[in-house]
Structure formats: C-alpha cells, structure tokens
Amino acid sequence: MSEVAPPPRGVYVPVPTWFKSSPSGTTLDHNTQATHAVYLARAGICGLVLLGSTGEAVHLTSTERTDLIKNVRSALNTAGFLDYPLIAGTATQSVAETLQHLKEAKDAGAQWGLCLAPGYFAPVVAQQGLVEWFEGVAEESALPIMVYHYPGVSNNVALTPKTMERLANNPKIVGCKLSHGSIDDHTLIALSKSIDHTKFRTFTGLGQQLLPAMTVGCGGAIDGLAAAFPRTLVGLFDNRTTKIWIQEAESPLAAARDGQLAVSRAEKLVVQWGVLGIKEAVRRVLSIGVDSVSRPPLQDHGLPGGEEEWSKWSPELQEVRVIEERLSG
C-alpha cells in the first residue's frame, strides 16, 4: 500500500449500531442505520466511524460488520455522497485478526481503519510491545490505519506521546483518536515537532474538549453527542456557533467558549451512559431508531430508569437543542 493522506479535518460521528428484534434475537437494522448515516452527512458531518466502541463492534460477527459497512456505503452513494469518509473500527487483540477485519472493511467500502490498542495484557505490556503491535498491523494492512487510544475500554493500556510520535512516522499510520481527558497529551502529540501533521492527524474523541483540542493543533473530534446534535458540533468546529452568542459575548473567543460550555454540559449524558445515552438522544431528538433494541448485555431499550432518568437530562440538553435548531434554520 502506498503512502496515503489522513482523514480530512472536521467533526466525525462514531455512529451507534442499530438493531431490531427478530425470532432469533436481534439483527442489524439496516434501514435505521442508513437513515441516520445520510442525515449526518446532510447535516455537515465530515465522516463516520463505524464499528467503534459506540458501534458495539464487540457484539457483531464478522459477517455483520461487513454487511453494515456495505449498507452504509450504498446508502451514502445513493444519496449523492460519493467517496464520503468512512473509518472502520477494530477491537481485536491479535495482529492477524485485526488484519482480517481491515481487509474486510476495505472490501466493504471503508477508507481507513481505527485500531484499538490491545489491552488484555496491559499491566505487563511495555511501550515497545505496543509499537511492534501497531507496526505489525500497519505493515500488512489493506487500509491506512489510525491509533485508537481509549483506556476506558482497553484495560487502561497506556500509549505515551513518545510512542505516538514513533508510530506517527510510519507512513501507513495516518492519525489517532484520543479518548481520554489528558489535554496535555493531546498537546504533546498535536504540536509535536517530530510529527509531520500533514500526514498524521490528531483527533480528540471527546466533544467536551473540542475547542481546547483545536487550540493545540488537533484536527477535529470524533464525538458521540454529534450523533444527535451534528450541526452544533460542526458549528463549534468551524465557528458558526459564535454567531449565536456574538451579540452578548465580549469577543469571538468568548462566544466560542459559550458554545463549548453548552456542548460540555450536554456531553455529560454521553459520559454517564455511553452508547445508551447516545442512542436515546438520537431517538428523542431526531426520531430515528425509535423502535430499535440493544444487544445484550446492554439494556433492551432506552436508559435504565426510563422516562424519569431522561427527564433529568432535559435542562442539560436544552441549550444545544436551541443551537441545533438555529443552525438548522
């Protein structure tokens, strides 16, 4: 594979995988998946991450993974979004199985792979071992890959900024997603003088860090809240939200901070409930996936606590609802 470009700058959505009930349990809900994907593209989202943590990749078979990517690619093409960026996640521990998933993802229509750091043996794995794992994947991967650093789902495995610098200099490793709260690590990677940032792009995985992440050189966000409020996150990224507050704020920066504050408040839903909170927000706000179910061990439908739990989040979400509506207009 020749040297390739990283995903474009912007806001991406790690889309949830939608399921429906069937006599045998649950199956993929391709119609809802397609509807959501096309909605996000039309709302200005730069690209989609399929089969990530939010996409419940660990709950899908290899055949389901391939079918999901093919369905989304077909729906986007039909809607006129040709070559729309699709990043396919992998959550496997072995180099060989990761390579298999990456080949299948390419054949199905994805352009990049997002490889979760292997964390099963995290307490005894050295940085050199992680470097060798990612370089081994990159060497034979059918797709250019991104490093996915999410300690919360990978046994708190650590990838240091120095390790990321080394990986960034592999021509087949074109970016990273940092789903942790260490803005200092974002800074050390996104502003590193040892990295060619035209060939390796750093994304935050947390919309609540979008503004500070951009100020230290990050190329955007791969953010769960954007699944329900895409225009708000895109607006924060490209400064359109500043127009909403600029009359009241002292400066464009102050206005952008107001936008980030609203987003950060709403992101607490994602922090608290993860994929369940994201799905519930999509159902309630966009009326997409209203009949969907979850695959065990996640709860069958909705948030634990039902309507009472959702009502607690209404004040947190109200401000972004207003922003979304104004940007839609």
Q: Are 222 and 196 in contact (CB under 8 A)?
A: no
**Given 172, 177, 199, 279, which residue is catalytic?**
177
3-state secondary structure the chain: CCCCCCCCCEEEEECCCCEEEECCEEEECHHHHHHHHHHHHHCCCCEEEECCCCCCHHHCCHHHHHHHHHHHHHHHHHCCCCCCCEEEEECCCCHHHHHHHHHHHHHHCCCEEEEECCCCCHHHCCHHHHHHHHHHHHHHCCCCEEEEECHHHCCCCCCCHHHHHHHHCCCCEEEEEECCCCHHHHHHHHCCCCCCCCCCEEEECCHHHHHHHHHCCCCEEECCHHHCCHHHHHHHHHCCCHHHHCCCCCCHHHHHHHHHHHHHHHHHHHHHHHHHHHHHHHHHHHCCCCCCECCCCCCCCCCCCHHHHHHHHHHHHHHHHHHHHHHHC
Residue 329's Cβ-count burial label (10 Å; 0-12, 13-18, 19+) is: exposed
Q: Which of 106, 148, 172, 279 is catalytic?
A: 148
| 148 noted as active-site residue | yes
189 is in an annotated binding site: no
What are the residue numbers of the active site? 148, 177
Residues making up the annotated binding site are: 54, 222
Residues making up the annotated binding site for pyruvate are: 54, 222
